[in-house]
């Protein structure tokens, strides 16, 4: 069990990073101690911002010796509280934002080596400068950091084409819970020389060690992307539209396929300046799709969809600016929902074939549980991941509504699992889903995870109280 740091330990830690690499000033600490929805608030005696891997390793060695807990933090954009220290104030916070170098780009090998503190947008830009693509893309890419993305196994809008974060990594550099540096920065696509250790740390939310750098996969840039926004009558039609898109565009031609509910679009138009409904007629559901095909193929796809009754209206972007405006509608949903008031958020996945049944069953159950609740389902339907959110009923106090978070989520999660799904598709476990996730894992799974945790972090200092074990 981790212990609170004494003054001698804190002084040792300050000396490691030097005067510009630490702070205990309350105003400086404040933005690092609360997540963006203000759901989780923590305390820490010391914020550390190491400048390199050697400093991270020295910090961990001191903490391991003193048995002090460590909370790794990236851009603080996580949604389950994994990046926030606990309220007891016993853990030091290690923010990796100063470690933000792109160490190298190998355009022939299609790889990039980047430090954990690099903003995702900076990684994307560095790839683009070499005429390459790093495909991980999500709404927070201007503020999230690649180390946090990997620690959470972030997904985003391009999973159905390129996979999750764990599919985009060839090698890692990690500081272990003992303060050792594992240099696994190998840009190999084939290596059968033992256990694939990097996969233990990807998605582990900093509970096994601290990712300090990664070798990332790069891809050829998509030379032509056509973006369409379509009105769709039902979730069943959404799946039929996805099937048609795949048939028309060929293998890998569907780059992104997002579903948006009408109420989600209403919130964006209401709360986000400059947002305009792109279609003249209202529909219960919409799809935003990117296809890597010639424009004539995209137009033929929309015509076939209309002829088959899969869509009732559509807009095909005529320029990059128009495509960006359509994507801003999708990326602004969370911001708009926050401005509308209290929101209960769920991040579930189910097999594609189960999406219509899940939506129907889960919406009915939650509406019955909380009369007047306003559903805001949207998300990466192309890979089965829905952000199944709900805004507070009109006239209901926000505190009273948010007090029902666990009750609502348990209903949604039970239905997702009954449909063969997961209660966390891409956000992780953190604090938010720690107890509930344990209920859905078998005794064998939990035992194996506990053994891994005990083997790699026997003193339990890495991100205490987070994750499933």
Domains of the chain, earliest start first: 102-220 (3.30.465.10), 226-334 (3.30.70.2190), 341-427 (3.30.70.2740)
Supply angle C-alpha 94, 98, 101, rounded to 5.
130
The tokens for 116 are 């954990």
DSSP letter string over 339-390? HHS-EE--EEE--GGGHHHHHHHHHHHHHHHSTT-EEEEEEEGGGTEEEEEE
Nearest of 355, 359, 375 to residue 367 by alpha carbon: 375
Mean of per-residue pLDDT scores for the chain: 96
> pLDDT, tens digit, for every residue of 111-126?
999 999 999 999 999 9
Res. 201: pLDDT tops 90: yes
So what's the pLDDT on residue 456? 98
Model confidence at 36, pLDDT cuts 50, 70, 90, reads confident
Res. 136: pLDDT tops 90: yes
Res. 377: pLDDT tops 80: yes
- DSSP strands (E only) in 283-329: 285-291, 313-316
Res. 37: pLDDT tops 90: no
Res. 251: pLDDT tops 80: no
Give pTM, 2 decimals. Answer: 0.95
Res. 250: pLDDT tops 90: no
So what's the pLDDT on residue 253? 93
So what's the pLDDT on residue 252? 84
Determine the Cα–Cα distance for residues 102 and 94; give it in Å rounded to an integer.
20
So what's the pLDDT on residue 419? 98
So what's the pLDDT on residue 248? 94
> pLDDT, tens digit, for every residue of 147-191?
999 999 999 999 999 999 999 999 999 999 999 999 999 999 999
Edge to edge, the sheet with strand 47-48 lists 22-23, 47-48, 92-95, 70-73
So what's the pLDDT on residue 92? 98
> pLDDT, tens digit, for every residue of 71-89?
999 999 998 999 999 999 9
Determine the Cα–Cα distance for residues 451 and 251; give it in Å rounded to an integer.
41
So what's the pLDDT on residue 373? 98
Listed in sequence order, the residues at least 6 apart from 65 whose beta carbon sits closer than 8 Å to its beta carbon are: none
| DSSP code, position 167 | G
So what's the pLDDT on residue 1? 81
So what's the pLDDT on residue 334? 92
Average pLDDT over residues 199-208: 98
Determine the Cα–Cα distance for residues 329 and 326; give it in Å rounded to an integer.
5
> pLDDT, tens digit, for every residue of 322-336?
999 999 999 999 999
Average pLDDT over residues 292-309: 96
Listed in sequence order, the residues at least 6 apart from 312 whose beta carbon sits closer than 8 Å to its beta carbon are: 231, 232, 233, 281, 283, 306
Average pLDDT over residues 247-276: 95
């Amino acid at each position: 069990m981790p212990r609170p740091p004494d003054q001698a330990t804190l002084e040792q830690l300050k000396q490691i990073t030097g005067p510009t690499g630490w702070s205990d000033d309350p105003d400086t600490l404040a933005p690092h101690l609360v997540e963006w929805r203000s759901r989780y608030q923590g305390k820490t005696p010391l914020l550390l911002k190491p400048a390199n891997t050697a400093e991270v390793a020295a910090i961990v060695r001191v903490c391991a010796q003193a048995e002090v807990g460590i909370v790794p933090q990236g851009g603080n954009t996580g949604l389950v509280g994994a990046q926030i220290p606990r309220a007891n104030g016993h853990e030091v916070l290690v923010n990796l934002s100063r470690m933000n170098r792109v160490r190298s780009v190998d355009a022939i090998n299609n790889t990039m080596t980047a430090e954990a503190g690099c903003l995702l947008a900076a990684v994307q830009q560095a790839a683009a400068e070499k005429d390459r693509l790093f495909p991980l893309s999500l709404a927070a890419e201007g503020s999230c950091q690649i180390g946090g993305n990997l620690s959470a196994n972030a997904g985003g809008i391009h999973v159905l084409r390129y996979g999750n974060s764990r599919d985009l990594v060839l090698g890692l550099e990690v500081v272990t819970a003992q303060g050792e540096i594992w240099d696994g920065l190998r840009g190999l696509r084939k290596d059968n020389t033992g256990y694939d250790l990097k996969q233990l740390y990807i998605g582990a939310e900093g509970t096994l060690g601290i990712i300090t750098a990664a070798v990332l996969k790069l891809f050829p840039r998509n030379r032509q992307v056509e973006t369409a926004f379509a009105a769709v009558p039902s979730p069943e039609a959404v799946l039929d539209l996805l099937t048609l898109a795949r048939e028309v565009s060929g293998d890998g031609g569907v780059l992104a396929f997002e579903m948006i509910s009408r109420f989600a679009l209403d919130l964006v138009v209401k709360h986000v300046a400059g947002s305009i409904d792109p279609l003249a007629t209202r529909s219960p559901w919409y799809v935003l799709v990117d296809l890597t095909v010639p424009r004539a193929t995209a137009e033929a796809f929309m015509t076939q969809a209309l002829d088959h009754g899969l869509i009732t209206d559509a807009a095909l972007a005529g320029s990059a600016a128009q495509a960006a405006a359509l994507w801003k509608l999708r990326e602004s949903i969370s911001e708009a929902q926050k401005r509308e008031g209290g929101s209960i958020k769920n991040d579930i996945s189910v097999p594609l074939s189960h999406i219509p049944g899940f939506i129907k069953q889960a919406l009915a159950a939650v509406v019955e549980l909380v009369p007047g609740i306003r559903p805001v389902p949207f998300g990466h339907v192309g890979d089965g991941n829905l952000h199944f959110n709900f805004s507070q009923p009109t006239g209901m106090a926000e505190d009273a509504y948010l007090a029902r978070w666990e009750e609502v989520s348990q209903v949604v999660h039970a239905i997702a699992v009954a449909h063969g799904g997961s209660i966390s598709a891409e956000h992780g476990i953190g604090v938010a889903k720690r107890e509930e996730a344990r209920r859905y894992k078998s005794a064998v799974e939990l035992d194996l995870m506990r053994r891994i945790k005990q083997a790699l972090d026997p003193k339990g200092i890495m991100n205490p109280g987070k994750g499933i074990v």
